[in-house]
Amino acid sequence: MAEKNGNLRTEEIQLNMGPQHPSTHGVYRALLTLDGERVVGVENIIGYLHRGIEKLAEDRTYTQFIPYTDRLDYLAGMLNNLGYVQTVEKMMDIEIPERAEYLRVIMAELSRIASHMIMIASMALDVSGWTAWFPPFRERERILDLFEMVCGSRLTLSYMRIGGVANDIPEGFLPNLEKFLNDLPRMIDEVNGLITGNEIFKARCQGVGKLDLDTAIAYGVTGPNLRASGLPFDLRKAKPYGIYDRFEFDVPTLNNGDSYDRFVIRLLEIEQSAKIIRQAISNLPDGPIKAKVPRVIKLPKGEVYHQIEGAKGILGFYLVSDGGTKPYRLHIHSPSFVNLGVLPLISIGETVQDFVVNIASIDIVLGEVDR
Amino acid sequence: MYENIEQLQLFFPEVTIENGIDMTTVNVPVEKLLPVMKQLKDNFGFNYLAGLTAVDYNEEDRIEVAYHLMGIPEAKEIRVKVNLNREKPEVCSVTSIWPAANVQERETYDLLGVIFKGHPNLTRILCPDDMVGHPLRKDFKKEGGE
């Protein structure tokens, strides 16, 4: 809208940020309406990575669909695997061997750590904290090496199976894992020294993108983003799935709900995930890693909704079966998709450089947004 | 605050309640959806919309919209279902109760063609704007399909 301001004529402009933009973390486009440097409107434009995974599911058997789940949140493949196989198992009434349950927890938490590391590194990078990019990525590489040891893949893992896991851990896995866990506090110290306490970083992030608790719940924000707004809500504690009720860990919370808190909470959660993994290692029983499952899986007619605490928030699978060998309908409720919905709200009134911080801090992954 | 979901029938005798494999399911007539949802949020503590999607039952000529609600922080769950006419699938938008429904209703509109009345901006979200049809409908023709 044109406006007379003294002798200068100013007007709002529209700016396309993305889909090819280094700080949109993938093929996401924001249509910004700007008044000078200030953001007065944000429209999320997504769908560039839409592969129709839900439609594909209707033509795949229950087992065949597992590899597709890797391609949702591709930074935390194990968690998607876990959510999906548990959904199918919920309808099958089978008992998962103890060893498989513990291995699942170890892998899922490693995935969570890896995902949080990406968030920490890329948020640091987005505010030009180049040095702080290295420690998380260096350590994440070791997680990917561990994944490679158990399943041969680093990113698209497909490690979980309906009824258990694909392979047992090879020799040398546990010592490597232990070494990784021992080195983890050093990485957190490095990040804290390089960026968390950094004046410039604080100035860029504190008070930016404030999200209060009521708004967060109303907009369906979950996961670390919700916990950074002050509510200790974690499905692993609130409604434990698998064997999560056997572990002792804290649910860290922070109260400001700004971008800075959303950053710090991830560091705190990494520590808790490490704590869970240590307990899982020390209690890891011997035994089989896969339950006896029929070669052709047929589910009874009906529907089931299963939610797990993903790396970005609550990940839900809604599975409708018509009694056949393929899902009649599979809906994936992805946390990134819903969390992205609150981004315009928290960004309006701030500057473009704050918008970059906000995208990084709500931690979206486009594979999961677009599906 | 009411604890027992059966008490919902005191307010709305027309709803039916059944026990699913995973959680209680409430079937609601389409015209009563908005007041039932408001009641569930205000007096039953389901303050969080955990999921919203639809399923196309083309052989039964209906589209079923399924809402998954959760109470935070107790993590209690409930499913609410409404059945819509497949030729004219229209239902009230719940964005006024949960703003979280905004993007999820757009997605359901995009993929299944359900019209959410009262939605502030019911446009396609994942598929291209000029696309014809709704891909998650069972009769959607897949290119190169059998």
**Statement: residue B141 has pLDDT above 70:** yes
Per CB-CB distance under 8 Å, the chain A contacts of B20 are 302-304
Within a domain: B137: no
Residue B73 lies in a domain: yes
The answer to whether residue A340 neighbours chain B at the CB level (below 8 Å) is: yes
Q: What is the pLDDT of residues B34-75, one digit of tens each?
A: 888 888 888 888 888 888 999 988 888 889 999 999 888 888
- Over residues A200-213, mean pLDDT: 88
State how far residue A95 is from chain B, nearest Cα, in angstroms: 16
Give A306's contacts in chain B (Cβ within 8 Å).
22
CATH of A51-370, one of 3.90.1150.10, 3.30.450.40, 1.10.645.10, 3.40.50.720: 1.10.645.10
Predicted pLDDT at A143: 92
Q: pTM of the full predicted structure?
A: 0.87
What pLDDT does A108 receive? 92
Tell me, what DSSP letter sits at residue B57?
E
- The answer as to whether B9 is a domain residue is yes
The percentage of chain A sitting over the pLDDT mark of 90, rounded to a whole number, equals 27
Indicate whether B64 belongs to any domain.
Answer: yes
pLDDT one-digit tens code per residue, A334-364: 999 999 888 888 988 889 888 888 988 888 8
Domain count of chain B?
Answer: 1
Partner residues linked to B57 by β-bridges: B62
Quickly state the pLDDT bin for B146 (edges 50, 70, 90). very low
Interchain CB contact of A371 with B (< 8 Å): yes
Contact B47 A217 (CB under 8 A): yes
DSSP string across A261-301 = HHHHHHHHHHHHHHHHHHHHHHH---S-SB----SS--PPS
pLDDT at B12 (0 to 100): 76
Computed on alpha carbons and rounded to an integer, the radius of gyration of chain B in Å comes to 16
Range of the domain at B46: 5-87
In angstroms, the Cα distances linking B60 to B33, B64, B86, B138 are: 21, 10, 9, 12
What is the average per-residue pLDDT within A4-20?
Answer: 78
Residue B64's DSSP bridge partners are B55, B83
Contact B48 A232 (CB under 8 A): no
The answer to whether A55 contacts B135, with C-beta atoms less than 8 Å apart, is yes
How many CB atoms are located within 10 Å of the residue A234 CB?
26
- The answer to whether residue A331 neighbours chain B at the CB level (below 8 Å) is yes
pLDDT of residue A2: 52
Angstrom distances, CA of residue B106 to CA of B32, B102, B109, B114, B118? 21, 6, 5, 9, 12
CB A324 within 8 A of CB A301: no
* A337 with B66: Cβ contact below 8 A: no
Residue B132 inside a domain? The answer is no
CA angle, residues A243, A248, A252, in degrees to nearest 5 = 110
What is this model's ipTM? 0.87
Q: How far apart are CA A206 and CA B85, in angstroms?
A: 50
B63 inside 8 A of chain A by CB: no
Task: Check residue B144 and give its pLDDT.
Answer: 55
Sequence ranges of the domains in chain A: 51-370
Q: Has residue B74 been placed in a domain? A: yes
Q: What is the CATH number of the domain that holds B31?
A: 3.30.460.80
Q: Is the pLDDT of residue B9 over 80?
A: no
The DSSP bridge pattern shows strands B62-71 and B76-85 to be antiparallel
User: From the CA of B49, how many Å to the nearest CA of chain A?
Assistant: 6
| B126 contacts A231? CB cut-off 8 A | no
The torsion region of residue A258 among left (phi > 0), alpha (psi -120 to 50) and beta comes to beta
Tokens matching residue A252: 């860290």
When pLDDT is averaged across residues A91-96 and rounded to a whole number, the result is 86
Q: Is the pLDDT of residue A218 over 70?
A: yes
The pLDDT mean for chain A works out to 88
The answer to whether the Cβ–Cβ distance between A50 and B126 falls below 8 Å is yes
Q: Which residue among B100, B126, B135 sits closest to A220, beta carbon to beta carbon?
A: B100
Predicted pLDDT at B139: 83
pLDDT-derived band at A205 (thresholds 50, 70, 90) equals: confident
pLDDT in tens, B68-110: 998 888 888 889 999 888 888 888 888 888 888 889 999 999 8
CA gap A368, A118 in Å, rounded: 15
A170 reaches B (C-beta below 8 A): no
